[in-house]
Structure 1
Amino acid sequence: MEASSRGNNYVKKNGVWKIVNLDYYPGSLPDEADEKKKIVNGARYEKSVSTQIVSDRSNYRDLPLPILRNIQGTGIQRKTHESISSALEKLKFEEYASQYRQLNYCREFYRLLVKQKFSKISGTVQKRVGVVLEQMTSTAIALEQFIPPMRQTLREICECLRENEREMIGSKAMRRKNNDLINNCSLRLNNFDFTEKEDDGTLCLMDLPKECLINIMKKLDQPRDVINVSLTCSSLEVIAMDNEVWESMCFHHFNDKEITNFVGHMEFYSVQWLDVFKFCFKKSKVRKTYCYGDELVVCDNCRGVYWRRVGHDCPVVEVPPSFTVLSPADFLHLLNL
């Protein structure tokens, strides 16, 4: 049984999660890894390097997976007595915020934290939030992904900080420094330009026929994904708004009864499926929310909060594992603020 995070591979041995020992430094690296050592930063191997350099597969060290325990209550009444800094540290939020799978979840959490609770958190946590937002900005620019949502998030955070400046904890100098840091991140994203694909004569997505593009779009199961595709260019916007795409989306998310309530009196060929989706989404009691690459979940057995894709070492082994997903808003509500 394996799991991975931060570029490291976790392996469960004898009921204990372990990770390959990466604490190598010049002079302590085994002789067998000398050749590989030269590949990384010339002659230095750092902890943060995600490349696996393993000379002896039996060389493991115990490393507990990130988890937040001592959760009280159930459902919307869930609470933790941990401070926010302690909770974020135990879940490795600062490290995972720069990872591809967790970045979008962390981005939404920090947006809600600033908009709803920023006046209640300490100056130390405020500074850490600014540092994490800078890390996320650098990651988004390096990956050339998540640029529009990061721009929107930083825009909202800047407005919130201006409106609630007098209510925030901390000195004016610290607030000014945080504002400058976030404004600088926003400026970097606003000045960012995507790298254009070189014209090498090979086929690209837009060379496909319209029917193929529509079929590709119908494979997307989340409305936000379709909307994001439509924002890339005018040609894909036309494809994304095609009636067939939203017909497929409707029947994926809603049952026949919910759809019939809206289209029962219409001629089938005249139905505008985007309007049907909006109506059904508004009326549906069970809404399928946007799925993040990774998200926090609470174990139904041991009541620990952990990252779904990373996993955790559950002490309750008598029953099958199960969990409940925590949205960023749910996790914020769970914190002791």
Structure 2
Amino acid sequence: MPFLGQDWRSPGQNWVKTAEGWKKTTADNKNHRYCEEVEEKDDCYNKENLLLSLNYDVAAKKRKKDLMNNNSKVPYFHREKWIYVHKGSTKERHGYCTLGEAFNRLDFCSAIKDTRRFNYVVRLVELIAKSKLPSLSGVAQTNYMNILEGVVQKVLDDQQNVRPIKELLQTLYVSLCALVQDMGKSVLVGNINVWVQRMENILQWHQQLDSIQINRPAAKGMGLTDLPASLQLNIMERLSDGRDLVSLGQVCPDLGTLAEDRLLWKRLCHYHFTDRQIRKRLMVSEKGHLEWKKMYFKLSRCYPHREQYSDTLHFCTHCHILFWKDTNHPCTANNPESCTVSLSPQDFINLFNF
């Protein structure tokens, strides 16, 4: 039991508990000296181990920091490709899950390389660009821009989905212009110069997409124009965007005639819009026929299109975990499939509106 002397800076006296009570140890006590020597050796050994462990931690942190600095375009993702979405503080978890945290934990870099998930990720990135950029943390913003760069690079390599990505870049640039003007209100995380550099990158990506030249493959076998008209019309029915249908009709006069088919535009209207919406926007020609093509573009300006994706994010209502369909998550339900709900991109955004 240490005992302080008159000088508070002194180490005090050493006491030992015995059967008769506490006794002050003497300097000539051999056992006490031996114990002190053993304790000193143990202290030195523990100090050496502590220093080694501290040096190891510092070295590991330095290697991780150097890796992030040298290869900053590689976003950091957790090993688990799912995230627990909680909307309040509990004894086990403090705080709530944010959009930026979910954006970092889910493997979007691999998702953009998957044809089934590409359109889903693009739509999600577009929704974040419209209203959720201020909600992202600094790391989430970096990952967001890296994913966007990966999307642009995939379009440049595959020469597909050029128009949707150009529209996405235009939406993001307009949103950033509005947010940068309010920088004094601290609506964006990070330095203003960083955001200006990102806006310049967006313009550069847009120019690259404008200058893209689609390489036509060498003619081998039959082409679209060589097919019968019934098959050509059947292929056109698979297009879900009227603008693609108009572009296809500009290839040659024969395809242009098929692209004006009224039944084709009627199916397109009923695919994207409800009967009530169609009745509100009826357009009749002089001959008394419904102008389905004009109605489609008029409805497109008034109502959102129907969204359909090959693969989406899923949410487990039992364990409150957000995950991709083919990713296993630690569900404790007896029938996990009955607790799984498919989420649209807008549903994913609404999940974090606390």
Give the TM-score of the pair, scaled to structure 2.
0.60
The alignment partner of 2:116 has SS state of: coil
User: 1:188 is matched with which residue: 181, 199, 208?
Assistant: 208
**Quick check: 295-304 or 172-181, which moved more?**
295-304
Shift of 1:322: 5.1
- Residues 331, 138 of structure 1: alpha-carbon distance in 2 compared, 3 angstrom cutoff: same
Q: Counterparts of 1:52-67 in structure 2 under 5 Å? A: 66-67=81-82
| C-alpha separation in 2, matches of 1:272 and 1:254 | 15
Considering fraction of residues, name the structure with more helix.
Answer: 2
Distance 1:311 1:211, change over 3 A: farther
CA separation of 1:205 and 1:314: change in aligned 2, threshold 3 A = farther
What residue is the counterpart of 1:207 in the other structure? 226
Question: Quick one: structure 1 residues 89 and 237, their matched pair in 2 at CA, closer, same or farther if it must change by over 3 Å?
Answer: farther
Deviations, residues 161-184 of structure 1 (Å, cap 9, x unaligned):
223214333213311221222222
* Superposition deviation, residue 260 in structure 1: 8.8
Q: Is 1:106–2:125 an aligned residue pair? A: no
Does 2:145 align with 1:118? no
Q: Which has the larger radius of gyration?
A: 2
SS in structure 2 opposite 1:102?
A: helix
Give SS of 1:325's match: strand
Q: In 2 relative to 1, CA 259–171 (structure 1 residues): closer, same or farther, beyond 3 Å?
A: closer
Q: Residue 148 of structure 1: CA displacement?
A: 0.9
1:53 corresponds in structure 2 to none
Q: Residue 171 of structure 1: which of 177, 187, 191 is its match? A: 191
Q: What per-residue deviation string (whole Å, max 9, x for no partner) do you get for residues 70-98 of structure 1?
A: 3459xxxxxx9213332123221233233
Cα distance in 2 for residues equivalent to 1:136 and 1:190: 15
2:98 aligns to what?
A: 83
Residues 316 and 259 of structure 1, relative CA distance in 2, 3 Å threshold: same
For the structure 1 residues 231 and 70, does the alpha-carbon distance in structure 2 shift closer, same or farther, using more than 3 Å as the test?
A: same
TM-score, normalised on structure 1?
Answer: 0.63
| Structure 1 CA distance for aligned equivalents of residues 126 and 299 of structure 2 | 28
RMSD of equivalent CA atoms:
4.0
- Residue of structure 2 in register with 1:246 after alignment: 265
Deviation at residue 137 of structure 1 after TM alignment: 0.6
Count of residues in Structure 1 that have an aligned counterpart in Structure 2: 263
Percent of pairs with identical residues? 21
Cα pair 1:246 1:277 within 8 Å, conserved:
yes
CA contact (8 A) 1:294 1:309 kept: no
| Residues 104 and 146 in structure 1, CA contact (< 8 A), matched pair in contact too | no
Q: Which runs of 5+ in 1 are unaligned?
A: 1-62, 74-79
**SS in structure 1 opposite 2:315?**
strand
Residue of structure 2 in register with 1:52 after alignment: none
Structure 1: how far apart are the matches of 2:298 and 2:169?
31
Letter aligned with residue 311 of structure 2 = D
Q: Distance in 1 between matches of 2:192 and 2:159?
A: 34
- Residue type of the alignment partner of 2:201: L
- State the AA in 2 paired with 1:106: V
| C-alpha distance 81-244 of structure 1, shift in aligned 2 (>3 A) | same
- Residue equivalent to 1:234: 250
> Structure 2, unaligned stretches of length 5 or more?
1-77, 89-94
Residue 81 and residue 94 in structure 1: after superposition, are their counterparts in 2 closer, same or farther (change >3 A)? farther
Counterpart contact for 1:141–1:192, Cα < 8 Å:
yes
Q: Structure 1 residues 292, 240: closer, same or farther in 2, change over 3 A?
A: farther
TM-aligned CA deviation for residue 212 of structure 1: 2.3
